[in-house]
């Protein structure tokens, strides 16, 4: 049965300040941070006891016991316990993906309202043991008699089996970290260290100015003594950034990615409320912006494409479907996983060769107005808890569009695994 597509409103969002791992949130974990942001959203929009159609909440790094994270967190949030929840993960695009899940259900009339959220911690990471010890423990569990359990436990046991394994940051297919891959991209696209440091400096300056302006007063909920993002360095300079050593390519003398122009390991959470026009009106809630459309793409990074270049593929598809050009936007929110990644993306869109031979376009997408890019700073200054970044960006962009009164914004997020998640908000 054909269904009419409805407009999907972004009502608003909240987040806790993002911080460096092993600091303020070290003992909180994904569950605690998720409950905090969901509860804050419930408070802000009067959702106590309200049944929503879906809470889509994800985490990239989580314990096996957190398999039902979304449902467990919403049960402690104040929402009606009859609200369903789904736990997701698509690396750095997780909570933007969750917004797509919720928005699509609203658009076709399956639900009236839902929450898209994400939380991540690199402080409370799952620590696992090797295959040999795991198989031994499983065999002990299967054994019935105490003596049999003891025999299995002691048979050819080595203390080496007790060595734990920590979550890796390398791509399983290549063995290289995201930073290693981005370093290759920077070399391919000839992105200079100075340009990367300048983008990082701009991010910190913009974020600091945004805090001073009061823009974040209704977007950020203080938590664990933090009122501002722990990564923000308003006093940083190009000289300080230039003094940092390469973080990934440390031996060739050509490394350009540093701790200053790359995002650090982060803890944090964010959530955003989406709803149909009718549901919002019935509850007296204003729509800040409309979630117009989204696109996800992937690249073959194993065989040579840049790991973080998938948004360059997703965006032209999104533009074509909506009859837009790259210049038809008032704001651009490009996730700053690395300064080099942002700059490589912009150069690709300006490249006639790339746009023709890789994207199949007749002409380059062209340049964007840099004054419209990440106006309030982005991940280099805020931090990047993987699953929380998308919701942070949606909430920020929706408020920007509300303040402007009209306009259109483009969201672009690169992810591990060679994928990209993009979306359009408008008012």
How large is the C-alpha radius of gyration of the chain? 22
Dist. CA 7–CA 271, nearest whole Å? 20
Active site residue 155: no
Report yes or no: 69 and 33 within 8 Å, Cβ to Cβ. Answer: no
Q: Structure tokens of 351?
A: 């490249």
Catalytically annotated residue among 92, 182, 344, 355: 92
Catalytically annotated residue among 181, 204, 376, 384: 384
Residue 146 has φ and ψ, to the nearest 5°, of -55, -40
Q: Structure tokens of 136?
A: 């031994």
3-state secondary structure 204-224: HHHHHHHHHHCCCCCCECCEC
Dist. CA 400–CA 375, nearest whole Å? 9
| Run of H or E residues at 32 | helix 29-45
Dist. CA 314–CA 296, nearest whole Å? 6
Dist. CA 237–CA 246, nearest whole Å? 17
| Run of H or E residues at 389 | helix 389-404
**How distant is the alpha carbon of residue 143 from its chain centre?**
44
Quote the crossing angle between the two packed helices 339-350 and 193-213, to the nearest 10°.
110
Catalytically annotated residue among 19, 344, 355, 414: 414
Q: Name the 3-class secondary structure at 372.
A: helix
| Run of H or E residues at 283 | none
Which own/partner pairs from 75-78 qualify as long-range (CB within 8 Å, at least 24 positions apart)? 76/35, 76/38, 76/39, 77/35, 77/38, 77/39, 77/41, 77/42, 78/38, 78/39, 78/42, 78/43, 78/47, 78/48, 78/49
Active site residue 19: no
Q: Structure tokens of 88?
A: 């997701």
Dist. CA 279–CA 102, nearest whole Å? 14
Dist. CA 89–CA 395, nearest whole Å? 19
How many beta carbons lie within 10 A of that of residue 153, not counting itself?
13
Q: Structure tokens of 135?
A: 């198989």
Catalytic residue set: 92, 384, 414
């Amino acid at each position: 049965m054909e269904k009419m597509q409805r407009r999907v409103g972004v009502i608003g969002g909240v987040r806790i300040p993002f911080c460096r791992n092993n600091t303020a949130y070290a003992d909180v974990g994904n569950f605690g941070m998720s409950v905090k942001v969901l509860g804050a959203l419930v408070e802000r929009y009067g959702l106590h006891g309200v049944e929503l159609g879906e809470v889509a909440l994800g985490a990239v790094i989580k314990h096996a016991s957190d398999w039902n994270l979304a449902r467990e967190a919403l049960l402690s949030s104040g929402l009606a316990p009859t609200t369903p929840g789904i736990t997701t993960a698509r690396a750095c695009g997780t909570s933007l993906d969750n917004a797509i899940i919720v928005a699509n259900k609203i658009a076709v009339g399956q639900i009236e309202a839902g929450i898209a959220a994400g939380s991540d911690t690199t402080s409370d990471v799952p620590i696992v043991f090797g295959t040999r010890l795991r198989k031994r423990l499983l065999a002990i569990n299967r054994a019935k008699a105490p003596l049999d359990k003891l025999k299995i436990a002691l048979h050819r046991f080595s203390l080496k089996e007790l060595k734990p394994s920590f979550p890796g940051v390398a791509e399983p297919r290549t063995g290289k970290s995201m930073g290693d891959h981005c370093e290759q991209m920077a070399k391919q696209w000839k992105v200079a260290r100075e340009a990367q440091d300048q983008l990082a400096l701009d991010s910190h300056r913009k974020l600091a100015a945004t805090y001073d302006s009061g823009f974040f007063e209704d977007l950020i909920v203080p938590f664990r003594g933090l009122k501002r993002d722990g990564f923000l360095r308003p006093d940083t300079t190009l000289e300080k950034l230039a003094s940092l050593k390469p973080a990934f390519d440390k031996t060739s003398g050509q490394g350009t990615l540093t701790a200053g122009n790359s995002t650090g390991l982060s803890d944090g959470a964010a959530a955003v409320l989406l709803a149909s026009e009718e549901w919002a009106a019935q509850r007296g809630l204003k729509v800040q912006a409309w979630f117009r459309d989204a696109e996800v793409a992937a690249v073959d990074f194993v065989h040579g494409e840049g790991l973080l270049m998938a948004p360059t593929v997703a965006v032209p598809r999104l533009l074509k479907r909506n009859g837009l050009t790259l210049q038809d936007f008032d704001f651009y929110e490009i996730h700053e996983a690395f300064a080099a990644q942002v700059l490589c993306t912009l150069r690709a869109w300006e490249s006639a060769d790339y746009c023709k031979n890789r994207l199949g376009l007749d002409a380059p997408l062209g340049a964007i107005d840099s004054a419209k890019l990440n106006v309030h700073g982005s991940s280099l200054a805020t931090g990047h808890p993987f699953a929380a970044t998308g919701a942070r960006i949606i909430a920020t962009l929706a408020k920007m569009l509300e303040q402007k009164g009209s306009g259109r914004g483009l969201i672009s997020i690169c992810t591990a695994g060679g994928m990209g998640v993009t979306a359009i908000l408008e008012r």
